[in-house]
Amino acid sequence: MKGTIIIALITLTLTPLFRGFKISSDVKNNTKAAGCQIDTRQMPLNTPLLLSLSTRDILYPDYGGSVINLSRNEQIEIDCPGGANLVVAGVTISELSIATCVSGLEFAIAGQVVDFSTVLCSSRIRSAAYYTGSNCLGTGKEIEAGFDIRDGRFLQQYTACFDDQARNVLYTRFILSKQIGAAITGGTSPTWQEDDFYNLGDRVNNIYPKVAHRATINKLIGLAEDDTKYVHATAKGHLTARTDFNYNAQQMSTFHYINSAPQWQTFNALNWYFLERDLRLYAGNNFVELIVYTGTYGVTTLPHAVTGEDVELYLYVDDNGNKAMPIPELFWKVAYDPLTKAGVAVLGINNPYQEHVEKSVICNDIADELTWLNFDRFNVARGYLYACTIDDFRRVVPHVPEYEVLSILN
């Protein structure tokens, strides 16, 4: 049975990430004569999904701006997945609807011509996550996250490969849009709520808070529960990042626990964040769609306070000593351009206290060949990062897809 994950709210402020995007001088907004223009940067947070009738997928702005241009009489689908109703000029509509362009912001919807700014969802769009019934990496289970459209379609945004024994997300996969330069920024974010996938003896929300996971880690390494030597903050590390998507509803869909793994806060907020940002800038500046895998590898360690031996770290340990939710040794991304067949793997050490980084360098470092990486990647406290060819990385992590790679993504 499909298990829907419902999303609530916390506050998180985002800064504009795309001031650095370069727009080619020969690219202009090709406004369609006498047609309609929807500025995505002006859309309220509870704007419905805008779907193409031809592709049945989400509509994006024309390259070089934030405007969706439509011809007169051109039609699009509009829907509010997740239990919300469509509200058009104050009238509630419960089904998937067609909006027909009249002119400017005027659209014909459900027998009336309305200003598109009055077309809203009665509440925030909510995403869902389901087992697909397919396996991945042998014993892993594939999960897809996206939107239940009212005509029965499921609009997938990303997939995850989940180890339901170790309760560990092995990787996620999504398509980074070439229109990511027009992404909406700012606003609030949903909380990470409980879901139907982890099935532990405690709620995941009770495991992640700083006091709880500090006590768990300290017990593993022989420190007092409240010792602050190592754990100063908590981070649920996105695999597919919130800002890897254009619209608010898509961004909200990333807040499923099956799209996360435990990260040290300094790694999460510093070099890993800069890697995510630089990859988005690459896609936007070069107007390319990238297939992006983000995954975890190994289990990070800290020395035991008494014996000095390395101890593997987990966020969950039950009364019988059974462990789950490993804290990864490495986070990695594989980015691939299927048109040019260029690709690269980038890896980061998820431990600001690791003294010997060489033990976590599992493939030949070629990061100096990447012109689009711009940060202090050798700083262990911020997150030591390096890059490898996809083929070299696959020798250690064999489940990386066997793409034909003709060059490094550069």
Q: Annotated binding site for Mg(2+): which residue ranges?
A: 268
CA 160/CA 197 separation, integer angstroms:
12
Q: Output the CA–CA distances (angstroms, integers) from residue 87 to 45, 52, 121, 400, in the order listed.
A: 14, 20, 6, 44
Question: Is 267 in contact with 376 (CB distance < 8 Å)?
Answer: no
CA angle 105, 110, 115 (to 5 degrees): 20
Instruction: Give me the active site residues, please.
Output: 238
Residue 369 near residue 344 (C-beta atoms within 8 A)? no
Q: Which ranges of 131-222 does DSSP label H, i.e. alpha helix?
A: 204-207, 210-220
Query: Which residues neighbour 398 within 8 Å (Cβ) at sequence distance 6 or greater?
Result: none
Using CA atoms, how far apart are residues 319 and 362, in angstroms rounded to an integer? 34
The tally of CA atoms less than 13 A away on the side-chain side of residue 253 is 29
Are 359 and 396 spatial neighbours (Cβ–Cβ below 8 Å)? no
Q: What is the DSSP letter of 32?
A: P
Annotated binding site: 268
